Amino acid sequence: MTNIKKTGRRTMPEQSGKVQTVLGLIEPGQLGRTMTHEHLTMTFECSHVPPAPGDEGLAAAPIEMKHLHWLQQNPYSHSENLLLNQEIEAVKEELLCYRKAGGGSIVENTTTGITRNLPVLRKLAKETGVHIIAGAGYYVDVTHSDETRKMTVEKLTDIIVSEVLHGADGTDIRCGVIGEIGTSWPITESEKKVLRATAHAQTQLGCPVIIHPGRNKAAPGEAIRILQEAGGNISKTVMSHLDRTLFDQQELLEFAKMGSYLEYDLFGTEMLNYPFNLDVDMPSDSQRVQALAFLIREGYEDRILIAHDIHTKHRLTKYGGHGFSHILKNIVPKMLSRGITQNQVDKILIENPKQWLTFK
C-alpha cells in the first residue's frame, strides 16, 4: 500500500525527495557514481539486421575470438548476440568489478517490449551491492502489442503510474524512472500516446523520465515538444543517444536550449557502418569526449550524463567487450587529460544523476 502525503501543490508520493531502487527507497546521496543508461538483462530481437550475403555462416556461428571483429562491426546481425538475458552470471561478475572500480549505481533502461526482468534486477542488486533503478513504460512501436496500441492515453498513464507506485510485471518491484521510452522516426501514433502518458505520469509523480529518440536529427526536439505540450517536466527528462543523433554543434546547442539532460550513452561503441542509419558516422570515444568538452565550454555541465548502453552480449568483458567499468577506468582519465576538471567529472557522474533521479 503506497503512502501518499497531500500538499497544496500536488499529491506527493512517498518517493518525494528520494531515489527509488529495485530494493526500495534510498537517499540521493547514497547513489555515488551512476551510469544513467544501461541494460543488465534484455532481448533485442526487434532490431535484428539480416547479415550481408555471404555472412550467414558468421551470423549463426558461436561467439569466438576469431569472429570478434566481425561481431563488433555487425552486432545486430548475430541473433544470439541479441540475447543479453542469457548472461546473468557474467553481468553479475561485471557489476562486482564495477563496484570495485568505484561505481555505485546503474539505471536499467529495459522497458516493456525488450523483456524487462525485475526479479533478476532485484537479485543482482542484492548480490552485488550496486543500486539498480528500473525503468517503467514502453520501448519503440515495433514492440508494442495490439493491446498497447489500442490503449487510451489515460490507460497508459495508469499503467505507468502503477509501475512506479506499486510494481511492474505482476511483481511488487517498483520502477524508479519512466523509460527508456522508445520513439522511432517519424514518431508513430502509438509512440505519441505513450509520450503523452509519460508526461501525465511524470506530472503526478514528479519522477525522472528518459527518452530513446528516433535515428534522425529532428527526433530529439520532436519528442521533447510532445512531452512539453502534454505538461511534462523537461528539466527532469533525459534525451538519450545524442552521440548517434545530433552531430552539428549549432543544432546540438539549439536542442540543449530546450532544457533536457543531454546523454552521451554509447561509450565503447565504435563501428564503421551503423546499420540503423547508414548516413551516420558513429563517433569514436575520443569524439564523444570532445562533444562533452564542447558542451561544458558552452555552459551545460549541469545537464550532461554518460553511460555505455550495453544491450548485446559482445560488449561484456566475457566476450572481449569493454564492460560496465569502461567509463570509470578509461574514459574518466581521457576526460581529465582533455581539460575536463575532476569537479566537472564528478558533476557528470554523481551530481547530475542524483539531481535527475530524485523524485520532486
Do the beta carbons of residue 183 and residue 139 sit within 8 Å?
no
To ligand LF4KAAF6, the closest distance from the beta carbon of 27 in angstroms equals 29
Out of 78, 118, 309, 331, point to the residue binding ligand LF4KAAF6 (CB under 6 A).
309
Q: Does 311 help bind ligand LF4KAAF6 (rule: CB under 6 A)?
A: yes
Query: Rounded to whole angstroms, how far apart are CA atoms 312 and 138?
Result: 19
Do the beta carbons of residue 21 and residue 125 sit within 8 Å?
yes
Q: Could you write out the DSSP letters of every residue in 89-124? A: HHHHHHHHHHHHTTEEEEEE---BTS---HHHHHHH
Query: Rounded to whole angstroms, how far apart are CA atoms 285 and 26?
Result: 32
Which one-letter amino acid corresponds to residue 354? K
Between 165 and 262, whose beta carbon lies closer to ligand LF4KAAF6? Answer: 262
From residue 77, alpha-carbon distances to 48, 241, 269, 316 in Å are 6, 21, 16, 17
Do the beta carbons of residue 334 and residue 289 sit within 8 Å?
yes
180 is in an annotated binding site: yes
Q: Which of residues 247-266 bind ligand LF4KAAF6 (CB under 6 A)?
A: 266
**How many CA atoms within 13 Å lie on the side-chain side of 163?**
28
**Length, in residues, of the chain:** 360
Between 137 and 206, whose beta carbon lies closer to ligand LF4KAAF6? Answer: 137
To ligand LF4KAAF6, the closest distance from the beta carbon of 183 in angstroms equals 10
String of contacts with ligand LF4KAAF6 for each residue 271-300, x by CB under 6 A: -----x------------------------
Q: Does 315 help bind ligand LF4KAAF6 (rule: CB under 6 A)?
A: no
Do the beta carbons of residue 236 and residue 356 sit within 8 Å?
yes
Q: Does 212 help bind ligand LF4KAAF6 (rule: CB under 6 A)?
A: yes
Between 276 and 294, whose beta carbon lies closer to ligand LF4KAAF6? Answer: 276
What is the Cα 166 distance to its own chain's centre? 22
39 is in an annotated binding site: yes
302 is in an annotated binding site: no
To ligand LF4KAAF6, the closest distance from the beta carbon of 39 in angstroms equals 6
Residue 208 falls in which region: left (phi positive, over 0), alpha (psi -120 to 50) or beta: beta
Q: Which of residues 175-204 bind ligand LF4KAAF6 (CB under 6 A)?
A: none
Query: Rounded to whole angstroms, how far apart are CA atoms 21 and 106?
Result: 10
131 is in an annotated binding site: no
To ligand LF4KAAF6, the closest distance from the beta carbon of 325 in angstroms equals 19
Between 47 and 344, whose beta carbon lies closer to ligand LF4KAAF6? Answer: 47
Query: Rounded to whole angstroms, how far apart are CA atoms 144 and 149?
Result: 6
Grid coordinates representing 266 are 554509447
146 is in an annotated binding site: no
Q: Single out the residue of 133, 177, 164, 151 nearest to residue 30, CA to CA.
A: 133
Q: Which of residues 319-348 bind ligand LF4KAAF6 (CB under 6 A)?
A: none
Out of 200, 244, 288, 303, point to the residue binding ligand LF4KAAF6 (CB under 6 A).
244
Q: Does 116 help bind ligand LF4KAAF6 (rule: CB under 6 A)?
A: no
In the complex, the residues that contact ligand LF4KAAF6 under the rule CB under 6 A are 212, 241, 244, 266, 276, 309, 311
Binding-site residues sit at 37, 39, 180, 212, 241, 309
Binding-site residues for a divalent metal cation sit at 37, 39, 180, 212, 241, 309
